[in-house]
Amino acid sequence: MARLTDFISPSILSADFASLGQEVDNVIKSGADVVHFDVMDNHYVPNLTIGPLVCDALRKHGVTAEIDVHLMCTPVDQLINDFAKAGASYITFHPDASTHVDRSLQLTRELGCKSGLVFNPAAPLDVLEYVMDKVDLIMLMSVNPGFGGQSFIPSTLTKLKQVRKMIDDSGFDIRLEVDGGVKANNIKEIKEAGADMFVAGSAIFGAKNDNDPEHYNTIINEFRSELAKASV
Ligand code: DX5
Ligand code: ZN
């Protein structure tokens, strides 16, 4: 099956929150495809971030790029409703954060969003067997969720290969996203293991262009040139 085009999805967790609208504009102008929006509830993960009001504010600011909402929260159904209203494009949740995974996936699609499931580094993939027809996106955490700036966990590569095979065997157009510790020196290997959507927070927002601090195209171009070298 033909692979989908690579998407680079900067995680705004590492952006300057005091000028978030401008940061998102800059990263999209610099060539990013999607905006990764990390929602933490100080319950499912030990950190607290941003909610639907901020997503809505980005839309009102004029952001037209797809917004990839990653819920690290439990429960999820009310937030799925709220983020759909706030302009989310993708809504992804952890299966262990919803009592009724199938229902939450259906709800996401009924509200007009693309549905996604995300798996922690030590989480089994078994639920996927029953819902491949209800997901538009599968995301693998390559760090433990809760914080930016952690190191990529190498066993994710094996897991990516497993999920890539499941997607190819299913015949559905499902995106395979990886989240955590993605850098210019490992993105090629991550693509070769099967990913086609790459979240990067600290690597992108920590790399403003020296002569043009408002732009991130040097690092995004470096990602693209590494991706182009991949043997898939
Ligand atoms: C972690 C978040 C990630 C995080 C990635 O819980 O889900 O999206 O921002 O940050 P980096 O790219 O710095 O590992
Ligand atoms: Zn994330």
| DSSP helix/strand/coil, 58 | helix
Ligand nearest to the CA of 156: 1
CATH number of residue 34's parent domain: 3.20.20.70
- Residue 83 CB partners (closer than 8 Å, separation 6+): 39, 52, 55, 69, 71, 91, 113
d(CA 45, ligand 2 centre) in Å: 12
What is the mean predicted confidence (pLDDT) over 77-86? 98
Q: Identify whether 111 is part of a domain.
A: yes
Number of domains in the chain: 1
Residue 1 included in any domain: no
The per-residue pLDDT for 213 is 67
Q: How far apart are CA 55 and CA 88, in angstroms?
A: 7
Q: What is the pLDDT of residues 61-71, one digit of tens each?
A: 999 999 999 99
2 within domain boundaries: no
Q: Is any atom of ligand 1 closer than 6 Å to the C-beta of 148?
A: yes
Q: Quote the ligand 1 centre to 13 CA distance (angstroms).
A: 7
Domain that holds residue 202: 7-228
Which residue's CA is the closest to the ligand 1 atom numbered 7? Answer: 145
Q: Got the DSSP string for 161-175?
A: HHHHHHHHHHTS--E
Determine if ligand 1 sits within 6 Å of the CB of residue 203: yes
Query: Residue 171: inside a domain, yes or no?
Result: yes
Residue 220 domain flag: yes
Percent of the chain with pLDDT over 90: 95
Whether 29 maps to a domain, the answer reads yes
pTM of the model: 0.97
Q: Which residues are catalytic?
A: 38, 179
Q: Which residues contact 15 (CB under 8 A, 6 or more apart)?
A: 23, 24, 27, 205
Model pLDDT, residue 142: 99
On average, the pLDDT of the chain sits at: 97
Q: Is the CB of 146 under 6 A from ligand 1?
A: yes
Partners of 41 in the beta sheet?
A: 48
Q: Is 140 in the pocket of ligand 1 (CB under 6 A)?
A: no
Residue 102 within a domain: yes
Residue with tokens 């504010």: 57
- Residue whose entry in the numeric block shows the structure tokens 């927002």: 205
Instruction: Answer yes or no: is the C-beta of 121 below 6 A from any ligand 1 atom.
Output: no
In tens, the pLDDT along 188-210 reads 999 999 999 999 999 999 997 77
Q: Which atom of ligand 1 is nearest to the CA of 146?
A: 6
Task: Tell me, in angstroms, the distance from the centre of ligand 2 to residue 87's CA.
Answer: 17
For atom 9 of ligand 1, which residue has the closest CA? 148
Residue range 105-115: mean pLDDT, rounded: 98
Structure tokens at 195: 């990913």
